[in-house]
Every structure is written in C-alpha cells, then in structure tokens.
Structure 1
C-alpha cells in the first residue's frame, strides 16, 4: 500500500494493490445482488413517533457483511458507483412506510455527479408507492473531500429542484464541519455519536449542544442526534430542546417499519444541574469559543 499526503490541501490518497480474490468477491456480490437493506428509525421525541428511517446496507453473512468492508473493497476495485447504485435501488425497493415518513439514503457526494444517479433514483421512486421525491432525503456521507465545491453546489441544486431533501452526515467527523454546514444549507444535520455520548454527565457537551440548537434555528435546519444508547442521554437532549434522535436506545436496524417506538415518554423538566455559560449567549460565537 502506498500512502500519499498533501498537508496543505488536506488531500489523502491511498493506493492499494487489488488482488483477484478481492475483485471477484465484490463483483460477485454486486452482480448477484447479494445485499439487503435494513432500516433504523429516526424519532420525534415529543410524541415518540417515527418520522423517518435511515436505510443501511448489509452484505452476505461473513466478512463482507459490514458496509465499511463492502465499500472499502469496492473503492479498491473501482466499483464504488456500482455498489452505491445497487444500495440505493434496494433501499427504495424494500421500503414500505406511511406517506408522511421519510427515507434517508446514504450517498457519497461524488456519486451525485454520475448522470445515471438521478434517473435511477426517480425510477426507484416510481416503482414504490410509498415514495416520492419530497420524502427522500439524500444523506451526504463524505469519505473524500469535495474539490470543486461550485460544481457540487450546482448538481446538488438540481436534486433539490426535484424535491429531494438534503442532510449532512456525521457533523464533526471527517470533512464535515461547521463551514460545510453553512455552505450547503442542508435541511437536516446529523450529529456524530461523539457529541451525544455521556452528554448527561458532561457539561461541555451540553453547552456545545445548546450552541448547535441555536445555529439550527438560525439556519432553518433540523438537528438529528445520532448514537443514542442510554435513556439518560435521550432525557438530557430532550430537555435541551433536541427533537429528533436516532440510536439503539430507540430502535435497532431491522426490517420492521412502524409508526412509533415502544419506550416511555420523556419529562419536559429542565435539568438545572447542566446549565452552562453558553446558554446566556445563545449564539455561534459562544459555540466556537466554548472551552474544553
């Protein structure tokens, strides 16, 4: 393996040797369509209704079941687009939900430049009565930096013109920072698990979350906090005003599509012990200057 790094532009290139076994494995999986979709609920904590599902891809049982392993091998074999298109097609084909529920589809930004991508999405929607462009959200998952941002903005607008929603995934991870949020102006912002983990015992994380909520309000974006595994995390976030959450505490990925989750409702009482100075400022400057 050769690793090339240009520090100034933050461009990372990994060059792999591709074995015949690797190529055959990913080719066989894609050509035989040996993938399936599971769905994880996104919850509105005000009434515990399921407002959306995120589609997640799984490979055949064994080492290639992991989506990370699938996409790593596809990238090495230059078959990322083929894998992406199959994932999108299967996720749309197997989704059965109420017309008010949205479907979040993970997609790498560069795939949106492929001419057949939009046609495939629209065709998949046409064959599923549960779907329409207005209840599809393209969840941008950046594994690579966007080098031509003006061109990307233009192609993204063409999807918006059809009615697709836009979400940025894993805020705070990889290349997805506050600057990307402000440039893309997404409909949804999904916050990386790091920022919600143990938030009920971490004053700094709670203060940071208040700043993000204020920024969402000013940019008309919905905040979705991912990776909720404890009721205490969910309770604290709910008390701060976070409406949308996702995680194992509420729902594990599976094939069942429902309307509500089976957990007890949350109290609206404010947790006074987690008040922080940022609450008094409630602006982005306070968020950026928050001390760790």
Structure 2
C-alpha cells in the first residue's frame, strides 16, 4: 500500500507545515519544489510536463498549491491534474481561499474541475492568514506603525497557517472524510483597527490601521512592483472585506482536527520577537 503523499508548494507557508504534519504521522511527504535541495524533495514545475512523472511516482494523495506567479490557474494546472487522476488513487486536496466560490476565477475554476472529475477531493478555503501580519504587513508595522488596507470597518476571521495545515493533513490521511469544500476561519472576526490595537499591546508601542481607498491601495501595490491587473485584484479583495464578504466564523477546524482554531492573541504573543525585529 502506498503511503507517500506529494506536497506541492512544499516550501511555502502551508506546504512545509503539511509536510511536517505528515512526517509526524509516519507518512512519507514528498516535497515538490522548483529547486530541490534534499532527498525528500523532488523537482516540480507546473509549466514543465517533464517533471510530472517523477513527482507522481508512488504517490497516494496530493496537496495542491496553485502557482503564485499567475492567475490562470486551471489552464496551467490541468495537464498535471489529468495525469494525477490516472495515477493517484487517493484524495486531491486543493488550497483555495474563502473569497473564491466554486467556479470563480483562479482557484475557483480548479475547485469546479476537481468537483467534476476527481473521485475524492477536498478544497480548503481559508480566510486571511495570520502570517500575513508577519510577512506582507511586517515592514509597514515596524517602519510606519501602520497596517495599510482598504477594508474600512470590514471584519476578517484571521486563521493560523498551522490550523490550515492540520486540516489538510487530516483530509489527506482520512479516507472517511467526505469530498467537498471546507471554509476555514479563526475563532473571531476582527477589524484591522482591532488587529492593530492587539499588536500594539503585544509590542508595547503604537500600531494603527491606516485606511486607504481602493485606488490608493492599487497604487501602493503597483509602487511595490505588482502588475496593474494583479494589484487591482488584490485591492478588490480588500473592498470585498469592507462590504462584509469575510465576516463569518466556521467551526470546520475544530470539527475536522478535534481542537479549536488558534486565536489571534495567541498567535501574536508567539510572534512578538518577529514584530520587534529580534
């Protein structure tokens, strides 16, 4: 019986945690990456079909992370998915987003394709990662004392990537889990004003939510080097948050993993050194 699981995006925020979680269960995790650096990694590139066979060798299930350098996800992923369906007996688990329904652009199209073609599939639709505060927002928090967004008073149920990975591992390992999508959230929906105050309390210096219009956020993204269309799409997600699109809480993390989702307060406390630049 095959117990090897392929983890695409295996060096990313959730992929490395999924690989660790599988290893903890005694399951071989094969990390797929463009630049393998160890024996448990395999070279894989969505756009290079010659990398597919080695990646799929002996694989029982797959964790799928869409390429991050483009938005036409189904067109670039479909050749690999078709080959995977012919060779992989287990579940295909796709990381998507709570803002993307089945059939929507980007991962939403892949979601619809899996539903139509895969015998066993799970689509994880997490809300915004808590880790965004220690990556994309970190520079402005440290330098400006600001979190920039166009979310206004919209609420977001931020989720820890650790919890997303725990759900993914369960989906990959538990054949009894029914196919479908799981909307994953943290235990509370917060405005960015509330998040900024929470960070202030942890690091003991002022952090505020610097409110931008959607167009101002587009300009900020473009100034950082993002293409116009991608900047517009990202800023539009903030606009959707302002309209209440993310203001919901689910119990899926606890129901699937058997433990409650991590609170933002707990996450921030664990990241104090990161915010302080220690």
TM over 0.5: no
Q: What TM-score comes out, normalization by structure 1 length? A: 0.33
Larger radius of gyration: 1
Structure 2 length-normalised TM: 0.34
